[in-house]
Amino acid sequence: MGVDAVEAEVSRRPRRLRVRLPLGAAAVLVSLLCFAPTAAFANSDPAWRHFEDGMVAYEAHRFGDALTAWQEAASERNDRFTVAVAAVDAAMALPEAKTAWDSISTLVQRLADEEFGERAFAEILSDAGGSSRREMELLHSQTKSKALGDFTNAWLAVEGLRGAQAIHDSLKALRTLAEDLRSYPEAEFGIGRVFFVEGELRLAEMQFQRALAGSAALEIPDQRYDMMAALAEVYKSEGNWKDYESELELSLSDAGIFTSDGDFLRTAMERAIDLDGYDALQRLYPVDEPRIAAPSGALGEFLLANGRAQAVIHLALAADAIVTQAMKRLQVDDPTIEYSTLVDFSSRVALDAELAAFCDKSGLWRYLYRLGEALLADSRIDSGRSLLLELEACKGSGAWGKAAALALARPYRNLSTSSP
């Protein structure tokens, strides 16, 4: 691995503020607090410092201070990378760039040779030791040329957030990255969070949309799902059910199980529930896509409330994704463990307080109860009652186990044989 590759790897590693991340979906949709740019860049970047100030203020419920800090962070980021874009544009317009064929290294060599001479530039390269970052730092500190000074400054700004490998020695790639980084979606999202807690739903909606529009600049790309979830919550609070449903569907659209390739699998999963119950689905079709649990469960509950049969598969997938993650955790300690029944699963989970809390907070028991109700509502009486009976017997199911018992006490007609 070369120097640049090592630097890129180190620069992309997250700075963790917590030693142990939550289980399951929360481990994928990591908190915006848990990651930072490279230490050298963070120390020189006012935008990042304002962002951290906003996080501290928000956690202390000083929402006004958080709002101000995040607005300053977004403004600082935009200002810095607007300058960077202009610098790259200016460099690309130079005569030396016309025949550089999009190569940063070729352009820099020509500019440096003109200013320092070939011999002095060779010494700079030697001192850099093969590191592109060090080369740019040395050039930036020694050049008197505005064009080269501005360009190296732009390169260093982009490299600090994206790493040298993302730039690919390409002027066009550098410009695209600089343009993307004018947005600070984490800060824009934070601003929306403040508006939301203060009841300014329309402003929160616009901010979350703004954050999503700039998601190409996210340090952790999957954080866009946090933003989509927040936007869906705004629509729910507004009673805007059409957009609520659409946003949940959009957040699931690129998950493997919801692509066209997953159509057959989803059909097979529903068939397994109908023929052999939930346990057969979980044994045969574990879903290792933890991020879908929350949006799929929320969409399933919405569809159930509106009497739509698609609730079944969405609730089933939500529960499946949570159980699959919990099973992976159990198998860390004992690789021989396999899923058999919900009751057996709940007994194992009950022995691990953290895992039990994960299942509860992730909504597992709630989704299973809703799934039982969805099956009953869709006239799948046997599979619905079978699931509710299991849920009632599950350790840790709490209020949802009691709700299952009440549901089982209700009289049911065999709707499949009743007259139209």
Residue 11 included in any domain: yes
pLDDT, position 19: 26
Residue 239 included in any domain: no
Domain boundary among 180, 213, 236: 180
Residue 418: which H helix or E strand, with range? none
For the beta carbon of residue 90, count every other beta carbon within 10 angstroms: 15
pLDDT, position 412: 66
Residue 209 included in any domain: no
Q: Position 162: which residue type?
A: R
pLDDT, position 45: 79
Residue 194 included in any domain: no
Are 169 and 268 part of one and the same domain?
Answer: no
Whether the CB-CB separation of 221 and 205 falls below 8 Å is answered with no
pLDDT, position 16: 29
Is 3 exposed, middle or buried, given 0-12, 13-18 or 19+ CB atoms closer than 10 A? middle
Domain count, the chain: 2
Domain boundary among 156, 180, 204: 180
Residue 210 included in any domain: no
User: What is the domain extent for residue 276?
Assistant: 253-411
Residues of the chain short of pLDDT 70, as ranges, are 1-44, 412-420
pLDDT, position 269: 95
pLDDT, position 77: 96
What pTM value is reported for the model?
Answer: 0.83
3-state class of 103 per DSSP?
A: strand
Are 16 and 146 part of one and the same domain?
Answer: yes
Are 173 and 293 part of one and the same domain?
Answer: no
Whether the CB-CB separation of 27 and 290 falls below 8 Å is answered with yes
Q: What's the full length of the chain, in residues?
A: 420
Whether the CB-CB separation of 41 and 48 falls below 8 Å is answered with yes
Domain boundary among 155, 180, 205: 180
pLDDT, position 205: 97
E-strand ranges in 56-180 read none
